Amino acid sequence: MDIDVLRFNNGEDSTNGLLFIDGKFECYTLEDEHRDSKVRGETRIPAGEYDIKLRKEGGFHAKYSKRFSDIHDGMLHIVNVPGFEYILIHAGNTDEHTAGCLLVGDSQENNNLVKDGFIGKSTQAYKRVYKKVIEAINNGEDVVITYTDPYK
């Protein structure tokens, strides 16, 4: 499975993007902003290609095991990102809800107008994306996510 994140707008505190699964638009994304020097919990990951694996430990896993008990089988964990650890795909609404992770949602505000950026209907987008990705992982498929920056 191929997941593509096209970052299309850099705000002061966040980055807007589009997420595609196997070439089909799936939802909007929100991340922290670009920085030339990483600030822990306040910087998006570099553009590039990364694998997604399951993370079955940690606070998010415990929380999502309860919150999404009908579908949860581990957090979608973006691995082998140089200089970053525990980068996840999860629900959330503003850049205050992410520490380098990728938030997904079905609506989005222009992050040049809304200070922390805003992504809405995040839970419904997360559940939809999660079901597709977890099915691929459970079927033994490699799941790769590619982040593209048309500009910094």
| Per-residue pLDDT tens digits for 50-59 | 999 999 999 9
Q: How far apart are CA 49 and CA 148, in angstroms?
A: 9
Q: For each successive 10 residues of the chain (152 residues), what is the average pLDDT?
A: 96 94 98 90 94 97 96 97 96 94 97 90 98 97 96 64
Q: Tell me, what's the pLDDT at 4?
A: 98
Q: Tell me, what's the pLDDT at 115?
A: 82
Examine residue 148 and state whether it is found in any structural domain, yes or no.
no
Q: Tell me, what's the pLDDT at 80?
A: 96
User: φ and ψ at 133, to 5 degrees?
Assistant: -70, -45
Q: How far apart are CA 56 and CA 42, in angstroms?
A: 24
Distance of CA 69 to the CA centre of its chain: 20
Examine residue 8 and state whether it is found in any structural domain, yes or no.
yes
Domain count, the chain: 1
pTM above 0.85, yes or no: yes
Report DSSP letters for 4-52, one per residue.
Answer: EEEEEEE-SS-EEEEEEETTEEEEEEEEPPP-SS--TTS-PPPSEEEEE
Q: Tell me, what's the pLDDT at 152?
A: 60
Examine residue 149 and state whether it is found in any structural domain, yes or no.
no
